[in-house]
Copies of this chain bind each other. A is one copy, B any other.
Amino acid sequence: MTAASLSPIPYTLSPVVLLVRPQLGENIGAAARAMSNFGLTELRLAAPREAWPNPKALKMAPNAEPILQAAQCFPDFTSAMADIQHAYAATARPRDMHKRVLTPEAAARQMSEIRYQMSKETSLTFDIRHLTSATPRVALVFGPERTGLENEEITLCDTIVTIPTAENSSLNLAQSVVVLGYEWWKASAECRVLSTEGKDTLNSALSTQHSPAPKEDWLGLFDQLEGYLDAADYFRTPDKKPLMWQNLKTMLLRGEWNAQEVRTFRGMLRGMWEQRRHS
């Protein structure tokens, strides 16, 4: 079975599943198995605790072998996110962060509308050959089994997805992948049916005219800005810095700038900083 035969949705059009610091190979395998059930094919691992490739993952998910073999392993979270343009953080805990929080259903609908929108702009019929290069890279981001995503990681994501639960809100890793994968599959099936009709509910910020900058552009911006702010002693006391810095990044990210806008802002910052040094 090849990766292509797993799903009618082409490889590059489904969201990436990114597991951040996963602890157990078995859970990676169970997540891959859930992916294969719901047409998700691209798996990324950021700093898994156990060495990769991991035979325990394959043992857990013989059907998902193509997904596991094609999985990419990154040394850390930011490198795994470099080319991602819109990231959904799967997390149950509400945090004091001004980010959009969506249900799995709403997030899935948004993801498949991005995909659909691409097809509408290139052709009136759903022709996948026109889509691959310009399709925004979308990721579903899952934290480690025990602790979940850290605030720092959630900050870099654009949207929080919270699975509605009863009082026991702790889902295991693969079960969270099941729920989000299941909603993705439902929503994308719906969009396949609708693909030749009009449908204009896409958030305009996510259309091709406004393709969001990949995260590596944002990380570059943040590095630059943090350097300036540290040098300027903006944060005053070290204990206040983490929250101030998180809020600042969240605020900037919410604008969903494209690559050109990020460059413009960086140029503006640099201009200000150089000016300051010379004055």
Write the residues of chain A forming the contact surface with B, with a CB cutoff of 8 angstroms.
5-8, 30, 33-34, 36-39, 63-64, 105, 163-172, 174-175, 178-179, 182, 185-186, 189
Contact = CB atoms under 8 A, between A and B. Distances in A.
Name, among A33, A37, A165, the residue most crowded by chain B CB atoms within 10 Å (CB to CB): A37
* Copies of the chain in the assembly: 2
Task: Classify the secondary structure of A's interface with B.
Answer: helix
Contacts of A7: 166-167
29 contacts: A5-B167, A6-B166, A6-B167, A7-B166, A7-B167, A30-B172, A34-B171, A36-B166, A37-B165, A37-B166, A37-B168, A37-B169, A37-B171, A37-B175, A38-B165, A38-B166, A39-B166, A63-B168, A63-B170, A64-B168, A105-B186, A163-B182, A164-B182, A164-B189, A165-B185, A166-B185, A175-B175, A178-B178, A182-B182
A179 B179 CA distance: 6
Contacts of A170: 37, 63
Contacts of A167: 5-7
A150 to B, nearest CB: 22
Contacts of A174: 175
Contacts of A36: 166, 168
A164 B185 contact: yes
Q: Which 10 A-B pairs have the closest CB atoms?
A: A39-B166, A36-B168, A7-B166, A37-B165, A175-B178, A178-B178, A63-B168, A179-B182, A37-B168, A37-B171
Contacts of A105: 186
Nearest to A64: B168
A79 to B, nearest CB: 29
A130 to B, nearest CB: 23
Nearest to A14: B166
A172 B33 contact: yes
A34 B174 CA distance: 11
A175 B34 contact: yes
Given A5-B167, A34-B171, 11 more contacts: A6-B166, A6-B167, A7-B167, A37-B168, A37-B170, A37-B175, A39-B166, A164-B182, A164-B186, A166-B185, A179-B182
Contacts of A8: 166
Nearest to A103: B186
Contacts of A165: 37-38, 185
